Amino acid sequence: MTFVRRTTSVLAAGAAIGVVAGIALGVMWWRLAPRVSVVVRPDSVFPETYQPDGYLGADVSYAALACIAGIAVTIGLVTMRREHLLSSLWAAFVAGTIGSILMWVVGTRLGSVDISGLSATIEDKVVVEAPLQLTMPALVLMWPLMAALVITVLAFADWWSDFRSRRSEQLLPGSHRSP
C-alpha cells in the first residue's frame, strides 16, 4: 500500500466518520439542549422570562459534545495512521469541519419552530419552546480545535520519547557516538 493510498484512505475515513458522527451528535444535541420558552402573540414574540441559562445551556451542551467527538474521532484516526500524524491531522480537520457543521445543521433543523407561522394562526398568546440555536457560532470550531490539540499532544509525546531515547543512548557508559 503506497503512502498516497494510505493517506487518502484516512482522509476518506475522516470524511465518513465526520458525516455519521455529525448527524448523530446533531440529534443528541437536539435532545439534550435545554430550551427557552417564548410567548407568541399575533403581533409579537418575546421570551417568557429572563432565561440566559437556556441559551448558555444549549451552547455548553454543543461544546461538550463537540469536544468529546473531537477527542474520540481523532484518537480513532490516529490509531489508523499513527506513523504519519500529518495525514491524521488533515483527516481530523476534515472530520471536524464536516461533523461540526452537520451537528449544527441537524440540531437546528430538528429544533426549529415556525414562530411566524404560529403567530399568524393564533388569536391569543401561546407559550412554546423557542427554536434551538447556537448563540456563540465560534463553538463550531471546538471539534477541529480539539482534534488539533490531540495531534499536538501526540506529536509532543513522540518528540519527547525520541529525545529521551537519544539522550539515554548518549549517557550510557561505553557507548561513544560521534556527533
Question: Among 90, 65, 75, 70, which residue's Cα sits nearest to residue 144?
Answer: 70
Has residue 97 got a pLDDT over 80? yes
Q: Residue 47 and residue 135: Cα distance in Å, rounded?
A: 15
Q: Where are the domains of the chain?
A: 3-171
DSSP string, 88-157: HHHHHHHHHHHHHHHHHHHHHHHT---HHHHHHH-SS-EEEEPPP--S-GGGGGHHHHHHHHHHHHHHHH
Identify the helix (H) or strand (E) that includes residue 161. Answer: helix 142-171
Q: Residue 177 and residue 62: Cα distance in Å, rounded?
A: 54
Distances (CA, A) of 64 to 25, 54, 161, 172: 11, 15, 31, 47
| Contact of 59 with 134, CB cutoff 8 Å | yes
Q: Residue 72 and residue 95: Cα distance in Å, rounded?
A: 11
Has residue 22 got a pLDDT over 70? yes
Partners of 39 in the β-ladder: 46, 127
Indicate the SS3 state at residue 172. Answer: coil
The pLDDT value given to residue 98: 97
The pLDDT value given to residue 117: 80
Name the burial class of residue 26, with classes exposed (0-12), middle (13-18) and buried (19+) by CB atoms within 10 angstroms of its CB: buried
Q: What is the sign, positive or negative, of the torsion defined by CA atoms of 74, 80, 81, 83?
A: positive
Has residue 178 got a pLDDT over 60? no
Give me the sheet containing 37-40, strands edge to edge: 45-47, 37-40, 126-129
Which pLDDT band holds residue 121 (cuts at 50, 70, 90)?
confident
Has residue 3 got a pLDDT over 70? no
Predicted TM-score of the model (pTM): 0.83
pLDDT digits (tens, 9 = 90+) for 36-69: 888 888 777 777 777 788 889 999 999 999 999 9
